[in-house]
Amino acid sequence: MAYKHKIVGIHAPLSQRDELTRVYQLITSNKKYYQFCCAINGSQALIGKATAILKQDIENLPYPDAADKLDLAFWEQTIINDVMDHMVDYVRLGQDSELLTTTANAANLAAYSELFVRLLGSLYRGLHAHDPVFLNGLVAQPFYYGVRPDVSWLGVDCQEALHKLVYDTSRDVLRSVRVVRYYEENIILVVKPDRLRYWLPSTAIRDADDTLIELRDQGW
């Protein structure tokens, strides 16, 4: 009753029953993938900040002959998970969304670090994640090569300096938030605000890419 103008049915003559069944099975077995397609490519889901979709969004979904054409790389699946679990609500709710109201915890940092190491470690062998350091609104996540380093210097003494690096408040009406990457001996240090939005596994993909470019530029 509430959505009487938003019901879309897919039908076919009896001669195409097998094909209709195949389409049904394809959609039900790849539900999250198709939800992602509607959210990203659809004409209403994220634009109108609504969960309803339009008929044309369904018609534009991919229906390959072979189901394995929908198989994804691990990092692609990570993006889908984060978009559907977090970003849709972020677009819809804004400042009230979980991404901005929740502080990243140790489990979130572990998931982020695992993907960062998996991506960057495919080229730089021996990369490991150190324990994260929580610094009054910031999180410093160290990574290292070889011998586990002493990062006890990451503490209260460096909080003020890191806050000045991350938050640019030099303009009256605009505050910029930076991602700080610091390289020292065998350490790669990533420093960002402690909000969950900055520590999703999908952000590790971008951070690993940016780190790779910087390491290459430095001759590593």
Q: What separation in angstroms does the CA of 209 have from each of 1, 13, 116, 120? A: 48, 50, 9, 8
Q: What is the pLDDT of residue 88?
A: 84
DSSP code string of 173-208: S--EEPPEEEEETTEEEEEEESBGGGG-HHHHHHHH
Q: What is the mean pLDDT of the chain?
A: 87
* Secondary structure element (H or E) that encloses residue 101, with its range: helix 98-101
Q: CA 36 to CA 83: how far, in whole Å?
A: 7
User: If we measure between CA atoms, which residue out of 61, 97, 123, 128 comes closest to residue 196?
Assistant: 97
What mean pLDDT is predicted for residues 58-86? 90
Confidence of residue 211 (pLDDT cuts 50, 70, 90): very high
Phi-psi region of 136 (alpha: psi -120 to 50; beta: other; left: phi over 0): left
Q: What separation in angstroms does the CA of 80 have from each of 6, 34, 73, 153, 178? A: 25, 10, 11, 37, 25
44, β-bridge pairs: none
Higher-confidence residue: 208 or 159? 208
131-146 pLDDT, tens digit per residue, is: 999 998 999 999 999 8
**Highest mean pLDDT, choosing among 38-52, 79-93, 167-181:** 79-93
What mean pLDDT is predicted for residues 151-157? 84
Asked if pLDDT for residue 188 goes beyond 90, the answer is yes
Here the tokens at position 125 are 């062998």
* Secondary structure element (H or E) that encloses residue 75, with its range: helix 74-82
Q: Domain ranges in the chain? A: 14-96, 103-217
Q: Quick check: helix, strand or coil at residue 3?
A: coil
User: If we measure between CA atoms, which residue out of 10, 4, 41, 14 comes closest to residue 27?
Assistant: 10
Percent of the chain past pLDDT 90, that is, above it, reads 50
**CB under 8 Å to 188, separation ≥6 — which residues?**
127, 142, 143, 144, 181, 182, 211
Confidence of residue 1 (pLDDT cuts 50, 70, 90): very low
Q: What is the pLDDT of residue 200?
A: 96
7-23 pLDDT, tens digit per residue, is: 777 888 999 999 999 98
Higher-confidence residue: 125 or 1? 125
Q: What is the pLDDT of residue 118?
A: 95
Asked if pLDDT for residue 3 goes beyond 60, the answer is no
Q: What separation in angstroms does the CA of 97 have from each of 70, 89, 93, 202? A: 30, 6, 5, 17
CB atoms under 10 Å from CB of 132, counted, come to: 23
Q: What is the pLDDT of residue 42?
A: 64
